Copies of this chain bind each other. A is one copy, B any other.
Amino acid sequence: MGRTAEIVQRATDDHSSSPTTLIEGYQAIREASEALCKPLEIEDYGIQTMPDVSPPKWHLAHTSWFFETFLLKPYLKGYREFHADYVRLFNSYYDQVGEYHPRPQRGFLSRPTVKDILSYRAHVNEAMQQLLGQTDHSAWADIETRTVIGLNHEQQHQELLLTDIKHIFACNPLRPVYRDLPQISATAAPRQWIEQPGGLIEIGATGEGFAYDNEFPRHKVYLQPFKLASRLITNAEYLAFIEDAGYDRPELWLSEGWKAIKEGRFSKPLYWELRDGEWWQMTLSGMQMLDPNAPVCHVNYFEADAYANWAGKRLPTEGEWESVAAVNSVEGNLRDAGYLQPQASETEGLQQLFGDVWEWTQTAYNPYPGFHAPKGALGEYNGKFMCGQYVLRGGSCVTPANHISASYRNFFYPADQWQFSGIRLAEDVS
């Protein structure tokens, strides 16, 4: 675990953390966002290629808006907002804060310019430094908690930045390169089954380290005995499914997925491309030949589920996944490793739990028993999306290493492909 992570986590665990370290964490995370944008041209910052994608500069501004809205305005005496219109322009979806610019029109905002937004960030950073220096503030505990949320929020947007840049570049026939990236050449280890006894276990955040509201309360779940695959499904394995007419056999698919296929909405992992009989895929390094040993990536829930059906297996539940992950350390091909693409691994035994790709579970994203969204606008962060989505676990190759944990619940709609998502199988023990 890196230094920043330690700082942030300690800050969250108890409120005895010295403000200096929180400030350092703040600086490191905020700088990281801007560093991620360094390879971009000014022109790249403003593009929105579909409603789910936000322009890179919008991410830079919105994360600053978060600190301005939830920390500076309520807690920093005399704080002067940077620009009156930004409250609306960079509000993502917090209805209790007020109206917001329509999501599909984020790509219409040529102004504020990149330069304006960097000034906005500097303005917010300066004020946040000031606020984080006021350890004797009567609301210090809230300030600390919200700052840590704000930093985790910024890290989520760092992942989105890379996810969205990939989409933006993939929509461009010139297929630009974000960065030349290293790549591991290896033969995938054979898949093994990790058998688990199940029983009455506990899942959810323990209270150690940062966790979002949707990871609480920790609670009991009863699991049947089950087996979990030791590694992720590879491109070669997924290709076998395609070549076995996987996309033409309705019996493998959920009804909605099959309908979407017939309407031509998807027919392969998002960035795959067949050129003269060979499969390529778009990566943050531009077009690359498909590595058969690397984990398949950018599949949606329908594809993950159909693949599992084809293989005669199933996807794990989030309880199953967490029960296994909770006793493993958070290590893997996360963003800090610098690959920004899932990688093959020849290590035997349980692997790739963290990093590489978000793993689809068969669990609908619902509140945990006893969950209550916090009062106020911050309560809109997670709770109001608990409908129609599925839980994904484990982080990906674009997730900051100190942002992910065994109890972390990510969620996407079953048709979504643009996030770094893949497949780990499970199986009943009969």
Contacts and interface: CB of A to CB of B under 8 A. Distances in A.
Interface in A80-110: 85, 88-89, 93, 95-96, 101, 105, 107-110
Given A251-B380, A255-B385, A110 B168 contact: yes
A246 interface: no
A251 B362 contact: no
Interface stretch (A179-187, A206-214, A324-332, A365-373): A365-373
Interface in A29-65: 41-47, 49
A348 interface: no
B111 A172 contact: yes
A384 B309 CA distance: 11
Interface in A320-369: 362-364, 366-367, 369
Interface stretch (A3-11, A13-21, A130-138, A219-227): A219-227
A254 interface: yes
A141 B337 CA distance: 60
Interface residues of A, number: 64
Contacts of A219: 224
A97 to B, nearest CB: 10
Nearest to A173: B85
Contacts of A174: 85, 89, 109, 111-112
A414 interface: yes
A355 to B, nearest CB: 27
Contacts of A200: 200, 222
Contact of A107 (B47, B111, B251, B366): B47
Tallying the copies of this chain within the complex gives 4
Contacts of A172: 108-111
Contact of A42 (B43, B89, B224): B43
Contacts of A240: none
A96 B256 contact: no
A387 B370 contact: no
Given A110-B46, A172-B109, A362 B367 contact: yes
A120 to B, nearest CB: 13
A388 interface: yes
A386 interface: yes
Nearest to A319: B369
A364 B362 contact: no
A65 to B, nearest CB: 14
A288 interface: no
Nearest to A107: B107
Contact of A176 (B111, B380, B388, B414): B111
A281 B200 CA distance: 48
A111 B177 CA distance: 11
A362 B366 contact: yes
A76 to B, nearest CB: 25
Interface string A235-270: 000000000000000110111111000000000000
A366 B367 contact: no
Contact of A113 (B41, B96, B223, B317): B41
18 contacts: A41-B111, A44-B110, A44-B111, A47-B108, A85-B173, A85-B174, A95-B251, A101-B173, A110-B172, A200-B200, A219-B224, A220-B222, A224-B370, A255-B380, A256-B387, A301-B387, A364-B366, A388-B388
What are the 5 tightest A-B residue pairs by CB atom distance, in nearest-first order? A364-B364, A95-B250, A43-B110, A44-B110, A255-B384
